Structure 1
Amino acid sequence: MSSTDDMQIFLTYGDIALASSLIIIVLILSWRLRLTLTKTLLTAAVRTIVQLSFIGLILAWIFAREQWYEVLLILTIMTLIAGGAAKNRVKRSYKGLFIDTLLAVSLSAVLVTSIAIFVILRVQPWYTPQFVIPILGLILGNSLTAISLTSNQLIEAFHEQQGRIEMMLSLSARPFEAVHEQIRAAIINGMTPTLNSMLVVGIVSLPGMMTGQILAGADPTQAVRYQIVTMFLICVSSTLGCTISALLIYRRFFNKNEQFLSP
């Protein structure tokens, strides 16, 4: 009798093709319900395969070499792409939006990843790609979603509540006082997905990182510990990212004379 402790399943290209064929179910539902998502679904499916296959080859090469400058280059590219993705998700743009989203994403992600690598995991050397690349990628992915939600709501609020903000300024309110409610609501909106996932993790859902480790044969208790650490890292980075983004947008909409700049 074989023991499940030693069981490890290796996926083949045939397994990938079989999983990919399940998209047909989604395509049928899209067609029957007239969701007009066929093109988007096909594009997303193809990009998923191509992008993940490409990054798999790149990571395998980097893991084998373990050169700090190559790891740093990958981390930089990941951060730039995350900043651009966060910017592209904002419906109402303004001059300097990319710089603001990039700063919010990079500052929060780099700070939290550094704490994880140097303080919590104490990785030696710090540029060990097995640790630093997945951790930064996980944090970036969640942070850019939170930042884009915060940016969207705050910019929208500045457009829609311009009259209210100007009225409060005319009543001697300081700039931050005039927009505090909008900033607070925007940050809460950005943090909602992260908080919701923390409330149900382990009860309703098993996160991807933990599931992947268990499927790969890792000790479930260790997988849980890693997941707890990453959940807290994501929470902190998302909060920092949302706050930085909100403050940068706030500064864009007020001049040196503390006057509100009409959107």
Structure 2
Amino acid sequence: MSYVPLSYLDLVLAATLLIANGAISWAFRLGLEKSIAIAAVRMVIQLALIGIVLKLIFAQTSPVWTAGFAVIMVAAATLEIAGRLSGQLPTWPLMALSGSTLLFVGTFVTIFGVGFVITPTPWYGARYILPILGMVLGNTMTAVALVLDSLSEAARRERGAIEARLALGAPRLEALSGPLRSALRTGMMPMLNSMATTGIVALPGMMTGQIIAGADPIGAAKYQVLIMFLIAGATALASLLAAVGGVVLLTDARHRLRLM
């Protein structure tokens, strides 16, 4: 089986399916027609630009280009989290926590997966590093946002009980142990659900893309298993770091609760 390239006409034909989105929005007066159109155009432009940029980066052999683009990916993910949680936590501390969490987890898991499991030559090749980092960041970004959102909401909801425990001398992690556990569950549950249904209910994008491109299904499945394990580990680690960091952001040095 050989790779079948797509023409621009093929993409236009596929885009006609968005008419269903617009029709449903119009029929039920959801007011999403403009948002759907903007999101579609934005996606196409972003993917077109990223395709051009990656083609240039893949042609380079210097790890500096790879590292530079990786930093840009982390920065974009950090801004996305800050945008989702605007007003819930202090902006700059939130960005520092999110950015450092994504940078650490993304770097650690990606280097582990590429440098110690896949072991290509060279191991720092952008063709391997950036796609895996992108999948790791996409999932950890969602986990961090869910954890911090759940934690701040639970802290507001249980403010009285938390302040009572703090007043009795409980340290911040103990006083917020309930919201922390709830936030960790919220952050990790989507990944667990995805792992449970992968292969039975849905074929993930990476595996599907490899199969369509002509790869052996067994080999594609192996790579998908690897990616799922990497993402699961990254999600758990990022959720823990975000939850503990969120507890620190929600309290001051004297272990007093502070909410915006």
Question: What TM-score, normalized by structure 2, do the two folds share?
Answer: 0.95
Contact kept? 1:254, 1:261, Cα under 8 Å = yes
Within 5 Å, give how 1:86-235 maps onto structure 2: 86-91=81-86, 92-95=88-91, 96-235=93-232
Task: Describe how 1:40-79 pairs up with structure 2 within 5 A.
Answer: 40-79=35-74
Match of 2:77 in 1: 82
In structure 1, stretches of 5+ residues that fail to align are 1-5
Question: Cα deviations across residues 155-190 of structure 1 (Å, max 9, x unaligned)?
Answer: 111222211101112333232111111101001101
- Identify which of 15, 26, 32 aligns with 2:27: 32
Backbone CA RMSD of aligned residues: 1.3
Query: Once structures 1 and 2 are overlaid, which stretch shifts more, 140-149 or 159-168?
Result: 159-168
Aligned partner of residue 260 in structure 1, secondary structure = coil
Give the distance between the partners of 1:28 and 1:61, measured in 2 at CA: 39
What letter is aligned with 1:78?
M
Deviating 4+ runs (over 6 angstroms): none
Contact 2:58 2:127 in 1 (8 A): yes
C-alpha distance in 1 between matches for 2:90 and 2:259: 12
CA apart distance, 1:66: 2.7
Report the CA distance between 1:9 and its aligned residue: 1.3
Inter-partner Cα distance in structure 2 for 1:116 and 1:163? 44
Percent identity, aligned pairs only?
Answer: 35
CA 1:256/1:8 → structure 2, altered by over 3 Å: closer, same or farther?
closer
CA distance in structure 1 between the aligned counterparts of 2:67 and 2:259, rounded to whole angstroms: 40
User: Do the aligned residues in 1 keep the contact of 2:146 with 2:186 (CA within 8 Å)?
Assistant: yes
* Residues in 2 aligned to 1:113 and 1:127: alpha-carbon distance in whole angstroms: 10
SS of aligned partner of 1:65: coil
16-25 or 216-225: which moved more? 16-25
Q: Which runs of 5+ in 2 are unaligned?
A: none
